[in-house]
Amino acid sequence: MNRLTVKKLGSLLVKRSDEEYKSPCFGCDNIGVCNIKNGEVCELHKAIEKLAEYEDLEEQGKLLKLPCATGSILYKPTDRGIISEYIVTAISSCGGRIFIGWKLNSGIYTNNGIYADEIGKSVFLTREEAKAVIKKEESYG
């Protein structure tokens, strides 16, 4: 991971170049608005602190990047040339993998869900992607 923030000697610094880190207030138009010593910081400083928090979580393996959200629609082409449509009902982590629970909205064949690494292979985020797979398979047939 290429960090944009770093903490040194209790201060939060922002990456300016490959080897240079400076205070987030360096060159900031909000000088005078921030009062870091009294714990009052501007919105830009708060955003940089939040970014640092997310970078810390990512380094610790505690930040998940989900391919979709609950309520999303996923599309699965079937061997009959039909596109089944599923509504995402739950997302969980299982054995280091992300499991997506779903319910059949339209189409055929149902199961409890898939692992996220199937998205883009056998299950798709758009109907167009699923149609393209069916067309590709039909051209081989």
pLDDT at 63: 86
Judging by beta carbons within 10 Å of its beta carbon (0-12, 13-18, 19+), is residue 56 exposed, middle or buried? middle
pLDDT at 99: 94
pTM, full prediction: 0.69
User: Across the 141 residues of the chain, what is the mean pLDDT of every consecutive 10-residue run?
Assistant: 80 78 69 62 80 92 89 92 94 88 89 93 96 84 59
DSSP of 13-67: EEE-SSS-EE-TTTT-TTTTT-BGGGTB--HHHHHHHHHHHHHHHHHTT-----S
Paired tokens of 74 = 């996923």
